[in-house]
Structure 1
Amino acid sequence: MGRRKVEIKRIQDKNSRQVAFCKRRKGLLKKAKALSILCDVDVAAVIFSNSGRLHEFSNTNSVTGILQRYKSHVEAEKEISAEIQVAEHSKYSRFMTVGELLQRTERQLEETNADGLTVTDLIHWENELQTAIIQIRSRKTNMMLESVKGLHKKIARIKKNRKKMATDFTDLPPPHIICGQQRVTLNFF
């Protein structure tokens, strides 16, 4: 006989809710500790109860350090995505769109009095347009490949920064839990 499925909704009885909170908090912290040990990763868990009491766990003895790493990582990713957007915009802004190319060709045809052109002249114009389209497609492919290479380099840089950040916060002080007027230091080993 298996466990029944628990319906996820707020527990109405205050005492039952507090008991469930305590049990699930302990289970969550146990899972966080197991994850950190088994997978050799940095884990931080911060929980505030209804009464405002703080419960925290960190395998590196510093929730603050992990939060600082998180903040710097988010800021670095925002900067990189902003750099990518600026670079992409500046790369493509100097090239003509297809509409601009067609307008330019149409103006040139009008200036040269297209009515007076022979079939061979029109074939010549058509060949020039096809050559220009091939060159544009080739340039577009090369730019896309360069962009992919740049993204791969940036991903490698992000991974390198993550590894560096992982080693930067190993010497921070242990976390503290403040319960009422007491201050307790937790060491999880």
Structure 2
Amino acid sequence: MVRGKTQMKRIENATSRQVTFSKRRNGLLKKAFELSVLCDAEVALIVFSPRGKLYEFSSTCMQKTLERYHGHSKDVDVNNRPAETSVQQWRHEAANMAKKVEQLEITKRRLMGEGLGSCSMEELQEIEGQLERSLNNIRERKVHLFLEQIEKLKEKQRALSEENALLREKCEVQHQLHQAAQKEAQINLEDDQHPDVETELFIGRPEGRRVSSYL
């Protein structure tokens, strides 16, 4: 008996529709399994019944397959995005940047004391608070730099004191050497100024020396 061709339209009879769903669902799951085994493919299949019941098949891990799918979809969406959309996005970003620059210019002028006529009391108080915080930061930085300078000057003073002590020791040693050289020169000068002393040489007994001295 030749089986008739099934028309591709919704089955109106609920029982027939449920029977057809069960048969074709099992066949679809079987085909997914065969495809994954025969072709070494990563297959993930998700089916919800008309009553909302979930049927799924995954050759590896459903979560990893879904993450891989979402990542691939994002890449395809970025690569296939029309050039006009990119241009519009760049224009939108440029407009936002221009607004930010304008706002920064207004804030800068207000901090400099310009264009305050249109400011409300709250805005003026906010500007005053910003200036006070900036002034405190400047003072803290100034004190920090002063302390660093003082510490450097103290280090320089200690180094100069040590160098001065070394120079003083050298000067004292040189002064002592100079004084010793002057004394030695004075002694030599005195020796040169005294003439040679003649001495009487007597050879013989001491008694004979006394007799001769009386004679």
**Structure with the largest fraction of strand:** 1
- TM-score (ref. length: structure 1): 0.41
TM-score, with structure 2 as normaliser: 0.36
Task: Determine which structure has greater relative contact order: mean sequence separation of CA pairs < 8 Å that are 6+ residues apart, divided by chain length.
Answer: 1
Name the structure where helix makes up a greater proportion of residues. Answer: 2
Larger CA Rg, structure 1 vs 2: 2
